[in-house]
Structure formats: C-alpha cells, structure tokens
C-alpha cells in the first residue's frame, strides 16, 4: 500500500487562498452518489424533544414522541434533538474551545498528532489507498469512554480548559445517548435495555472535532465524502453559523438546517444491524464553504469490539428474516470494505 504524502495540510492551503485544490481533493463527478450540489433543499429531518421521555410527561406525549422517533429512524435515519438539558452557553463553549484549538499554530497542534494507521489524535485524512479522494478537513479524534481508555496525551492542554470541557461534554452527551438507546428500543416495543445490553457496558465512545477550512472550490471538493457512520448512534454538534451537512434521502441530497441548541443524530450501521434493517443508517456528506470555516463535534458510539452484535431476537420473524449475519469487530469489516470500495453492510448479508 502506497501512502500519498502531500506537501501542505488543508489549513495551510486554505490560508494560502485561492489556488486551485490539488487533484487528490477533487471529487469525481461520476460518483454513484451523485455530483456535488452545495445548496439542495432542506430535508425532512424531524425535531424530537427527548425531555418528553422522562417524567412527568403524560403517556400520550410519550407515545406521540416515540412514534415520531420511530418514523424518523425508519427514514431518513437523521433527526435533531432538543430538550437534552445541555445549556446553550455550554454548547457555545464546546464550539469556541474547539475552534481555538484548530486556530493554534501547526507546531502546537502537532504535539497531539495522530500516528499513521491510528485513529486517535490530530490530523487529516487517514490515507488507505492511492486513488482515495481526500476530504477537505482536519480532525481531532479522542477516546472518551470507557474512562480508563482515555489517552490524555492526545487531549489538548491548549486552550487550557479544553480537557475539562471535553470531560464535561462527554458525560452530558453520554446521558443523551443512553436516553436515545432506550427510547429507540421502546419505539419498537422492546425492553428499554435491548440495544444497550448488546453494545455492552464498555462500549467505546469517541469524540471527533471536525474542522473544515474555507475552500475556494466547493463545487469540486467535499469536506467529507459520502459515508454512513459505523457505530450505533452519532450525536453531532453543528457549527452555529455555517451549514454544510447533507443527508441522502431516497436517492437525493438534502441540507440539514442549523438549529443552534439542537444536536443532530445520525443512525449508524450497527443500529441498522441490531434493528434487523428496520432502521437505516443514512449516507451523509459535508460540503465546503468559500468564505468561512466550519467546525462540528461528532460523538460516536459503537459496540464493544469483542462483542457479537446482531438483530435483536424479537425483530426476526418469518415475515422479516434475519438480514445480516452476526458480527464482531464491525470496525474492521468497514475498514476492509472501504479499501475494496464495497459497502460494509453489503458484505455481511445473511
């Protein structure tokens, strides 16, 4: 496998202004996922109030909200969540400190550099093949749970309250995640811990700060190429000012609106497997902006690596036979299929 090395990082190219993007960043218009449209219509992504899932809500309210959730999960697999209890000022702080980190000089950020072939740390694309089209983004990816798996040497000490912020944000988001896993189970009339049991108590959770510098050619270059998320659920804090996220619904791309205090939820492949295909992990991508940088924070959770996941028993019957084989370490399946340009879920059909 040949590793492509680029002379400049994405932020350096962005600072240098309007020189054309280097060829490895130019997205192929013939892609099966359609060409780049920087401003398609807003999509049908409902807003779910998760405060209704806790007392003192009336059973009618709970029922209605669960029904809304179930319908969103069947399609498009993307929705926004309010009533999560995280204050607006704290969300601003997360965005602010994230931006401050990315604005540090490269030498400073390199202290937290991701080693080649590892996921944790600061860096740009993980380059796995020569023909790979590169994303116009930098990332800081950190393991946040279980707590004993944190590698603090990748956690920025600059800005000085970054670590404390991330510790607090991770805890708050974890509680949202637990609420969602339970609500998703209840929406299918399952015992509320059905999915939580399957992902395991030591399910790894990672926080990924995504930084998309401005790009002179949004028509040619994507911030992140079309992909579905691998894990159970992804909880995404969007930039407050700059749009960019698009989700594919029935073969068309739609924009996700900015709702400043809402969290965007994308269902991942593992939830598609555990729900026996009733729920879908949507394809999504990020477009670039010619004037402004965009920052987002994704918190992704997946099943314990050694734990076998598969369709919950109650969701398999004669009318709906098992769609996917049970699988361990789905991350490795994704990595392998990525290199062969296959869709991971297609490689494990029953």
The site for ligand OGA (CB under 6 A) is made up of 208, 210, 224, 229, 236, 244-245, 284, 286, 296, 298
Q: What angle do CA 22, 142, 346 make, to 5 degrees?
A: 70
The interface partner of residue 217, options being ligand OGA, Ni ion, none and the CB cut-off 5 to 8 Å by kind, is: none
**Among 120, 177, 229, 261, which residue sits at the site for Ni ion (rule: CB under 5 A)?**
229
What is the closest distance, in whole angstroms, from the C-beta atom of residue 295 to ligand OGA in the complex? 8
Sign of CA dihedral 28, 217, 243, 292: positive
Bridge-partner residues for 253, per DSSP?
248
Q: Which is nearer to ligand OGA, 188 or 293 (CB)?
A: 293
Task: Give residues with Cβ within 8 angstroms of 70, minimum separation 6.
Answer: 187, 188
Between CA 207 and CA 254 the distance in angstroms is 25
Whose CA is closest to 262, among 97, 99, 52, 48?
48
Whose CA is closest to 123, among 145, 138, 135?
138
Q: Which is nearer to ligand OGA, 150 or 206 (CB)?
A: 206
DSSP 112: G
What is the closest distance, in whole angstroms, from the C-beta atom of residue 121 to ligand OGA in the complex? 15
Q: What angle do CA 299, 195, 78 make, to 5 degrees?
A: 50
CA 223 from chain centre, in angstroms, equals 13
Q: Which is nearer to Ni ion, 177 or 229 (CB)?
A: 229
* Position 120 contacts Ni ion (CB under 5 A): no
Q: Which two tokens stand for residue 197?
A: 């049991």
What is the closest distance, in whole angstroms, from the C-beta atom of residue 237 to ligand OGA in the complex? 9
* Position 138 contacts Ni ion (CB under 5 A): no
What is the closest distance, in whole angstroms, from the C-beta atom of residue 168 to ligand OGA in the complex? 21
Q: Which is nearer to ligand OGA, 36 or 312 (CB)?
A: 36
Q: Which is nearer to ligand OGA, 140 or 286 (CB)?
A: 286
- By CB under 5 A, the count of residues binding Ni ion is 1
Binding site for Ni ion (CB under 5 A): 229
């Amino acid at each position: 496998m040949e590793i492509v090395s680029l002379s400049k990082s994405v932020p350096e190219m962005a600072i240098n202004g309007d020189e054309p993007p280097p060829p490895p960043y130019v997205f192929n218009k013939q892609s099966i996922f359609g060409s780049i449209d920087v401003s398609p219509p807003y999509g049908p992504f409902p807003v779910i109030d998760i405060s209704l899932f806790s007392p003192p809500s009336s059973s009618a309210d709970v029922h209605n909200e669960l029904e809304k959730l179930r319908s969103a999960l069947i399609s498009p697999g993307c929705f926004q969540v309010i009533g999560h209890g995280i204050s607006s000022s704290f969300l601003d702080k997360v965005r602010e400190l994230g931006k401050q980190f990315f604005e540090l000089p490269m030498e400073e950020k390199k202290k937290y550099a991701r080693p080649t072939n590892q996921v944790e740390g600061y860096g740009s694309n993980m380059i796995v093949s020569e023909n790979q089209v590169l994303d116009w983004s930098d990332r800081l990816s950190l393991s946040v749970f279980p707590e004993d798996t944190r590698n603090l040497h990748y956690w920025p000490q600059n800005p000085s309250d970054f670590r404390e912020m991330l510790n607090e944000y991770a805890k708050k988001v974890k509680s949202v995640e637990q609420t969602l896993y339970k609500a998703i189970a209840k929406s299918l009339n399952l015992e509320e811990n059905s999915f939580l049991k399957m992902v395991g108590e030591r399910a790894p959770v990672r926080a990924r700060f995504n930084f998309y510098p401005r790009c002179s050619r949004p028509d040619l270059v994507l911030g992140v190429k079309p992909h579905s998320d691998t894990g159970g659920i992804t909880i995404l804090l969007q930039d407050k000012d700059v749009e960019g996220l698009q989700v594919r619904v029935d073969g068309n791309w739609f924009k996700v609106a900015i709702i400043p205090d809402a969290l965007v939820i994308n269902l991942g492949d593992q939830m598609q497997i555990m729900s026996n295909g009733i729920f879908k992990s949507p394809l999504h991508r990020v477009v670039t902006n010619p004037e402004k940088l965009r920052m987002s924070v994704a918190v992704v959770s997946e099943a314990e690596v050694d734990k076998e996941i598969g369709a919950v028993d109650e969701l398999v019957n004669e009318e709906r036979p098992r769609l996917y084989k049970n699988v361990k370490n789905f991350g490795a399946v994704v990595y392998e299929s990525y290199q062969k340009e296959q869709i991971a879920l297609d490689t494990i059909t029953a």
